[in-house]
Structure 1
Amino acid sequence: MRLILGLALRDLWRDWARLVCNIAVMAGVLVPLLVLFGVRNGVYEALLGQLLRNPAALQIDTRGNSAFTPADAEEVRGWPETAFVTLKTRSLFDYVNVRPAGQPAVREAVAVPTGAGDPMLAPLPGLGADEIAVSAPLAAQLGLGPGDAVELVTQAPERPRQLVLARRVGMILPEARAAGRAVLADLGTLDLIEAFYDEYALPEHGIATGRPLAGRVADYEGMRAYAASLEALAPLQARMEARFGVATEAQTARVTGVLGLGRNLGLALALTAAVAGTGLAAALVFGFWAEVARKRHMLAGLGLIGLPPAALGLIPMVQALVTALLGLAVSFVLFAVAGAVAERLFASGLTEEGGLVRLAPGQGLAIAAGVVILVTASALAAARAALRTDPAVVLREAP
């Protein structure tokens, strides 16, 4: 085996011009494919990352005035497409006044129900007892930070006193998640505010007058749900609309467009790779076969000195493998250079999120393995020609 390896390498080095040509052919096909594959990864994953970083991309809100019960929410929560769901109180009572404890500054904000597992609160699993999350604009206007004490103040013309709820800031929401002034609080807090507006007595909060709270039946106007994945968004939206007969709002069109773009880019890249791979395989097959045909007399001489046909067949196989490895090394170096040039020419937000041209190590290894298999399979034709070489016949044909 060492003799065959030495002979194959020395012969390959002696004919270095053809080796360079074969490497150039491989690089000419592989580098553009690698760049296309890397751009597809970079652009598509950046778009997906933008969607996944903003939980609103997975959110579904019901529209209009409907009637939902806790049992409805529990049903939706049990669906495999659902990651989180919460009921919503009546939109008429969504607004509260927020002020830092002991300070006069007050801002009006939209109150949004939340609960454990709400993607809006990630990476926190949820809020603690008597905690709220506030949007970045609201926090900036009131000078709030995590841990600060605040008060939610609600007043109604029919009530003699304000409802004041003491809470603590558990989280400042990233600006991309909540635009404007917003407060995320548990459903119980919003339900309490609605009961205040409905003129129920709340003795524990200093509201002694009003109807008995024990006779109140909670009324939930809507539902806010989050899909478990981008792929589950459209099915979850369709299922909610069919089950409850309501209209919903979601970024389904945008998400579907990005997912469709990924599929189309993948199909286009696969077709391009198939055509290019076929051309590369044909070039290598004919190239290696021509090499064996050109070296028939040398192989015949080796056969006469005792090398078996199987050993002769290994010579083009070894040369093909070495050519493949060298071609891959050159291709990946040129790909790295092309990627760096592309990053400079098309510098954008994508480059800050991992690169415009991105190739994962696992993908690179898979491509390399595929090329080695392709080149080795192409060399089999040359190896078969070498195995059929009859030294006596070849030498008789020599001039």
Structure 2
Amino acid sequence: MARGRRGDGLPFGLVLRLARADLAHEWVLSLCLVLAVAAVLSPLMLLFGLKFGAIETMRSRLVQDPRNREVRPMTSQTFSRQWLRELAGRADVAFVVPGIRQIAATLEASLGAGPKLTLDVLPTAPGDPLLVENGAPAPGPGQCVLSFLAAESLGARVGDALEVKVKRLRGSRFESGELRLRVAGVLDQRASALKAVYAPLELLEAIENYKDGLAVPELGWPGDAPEAYPVFDGVVVALGRELGKLDELRLINGTGFGKLTRPSPAELARLTGYRVDPAWRVYLVEAAKRPVGLESVLAVKERLRGTGAFLLPWTRAVAARLLAADGSEAGSLNVLALGPLAEGAGRPRASNQRRPGRRAREWSPNPR
């Protein structure tokens, strides 16, 4: 085969000339073919560029910045310690710290004779990614970490002592509790856009208690002693007549309760430990999710004014242990709620029927 030839022996230069001539002769068709290929490839190249360019960069920043990974509830809600422990144990959760009500999480800080600044107080603890990845240590007792904007506004640096004041309205008087916090660190500017101070959870709980009117002895802040308040899982309503559908709806609408049933005598005794005289019409009003306070029971009583209803707040049985003088267990029993609210019709009388671990109570519609 001669040099410079391809395929069946045609000169390579001739092949190129024929291809160029065909392209020039069918230039419209060739142009359409090029545009069609470009129309298919251009979006694909654009998508690949976005995926491995801008989107990948944004994703990397999202994953690396702890502020973007933070999940914070927008409303205040009560969580149990067991629920928080289970949440912290999840494989997809790196850090968990409880908080307090947002309305109570503020304080006033100043540096000596400098300007006073109102700051948000946020909880933190050892291992907090927001602090670890932004150049600040976890604060200990009597310490805090400032956001960049807070430190800039106060003119504070690491090692400075902040004068902190917590204010509250107690009755008709304004009161304040004071303490000093040492600045243990200042966050990078990218960490937060708030003027905030990060402190241990114990300090936030003390601030919340003080604003609720309670005393905080460990900080020398005066106030009231904490008092336990009653909560109930439901209320037993006994009447001498049937309630209409509208009256039934009013018992759970706006009272804090969420469920109303007509239990049988056996079911009522099993749930509450009480037996009701068959002459009564009995309703069981229950809380939907968590126990409610006395104000909910009083709201039900108000809705039943003039009906001669008899109300018995109740809680589910609580297991209790009886301890001997030496600390050993002497026995166990179930504790049930007592304390009926009545409008004057009826009174309780003890029944001779007993069940293991509880005492049955019987309610009669007529005074005896």
TM-score normalised by length of structure 2: 0.45
Higher relative contact order (CA 8 A, sep 6+): 1
Higher strand proportion: 2
Normalised to the residue count of structure 1, the TM-score between the two structures is 0.42
From the two aligned structures, give the one with the greater helix fraction. Answer: 1
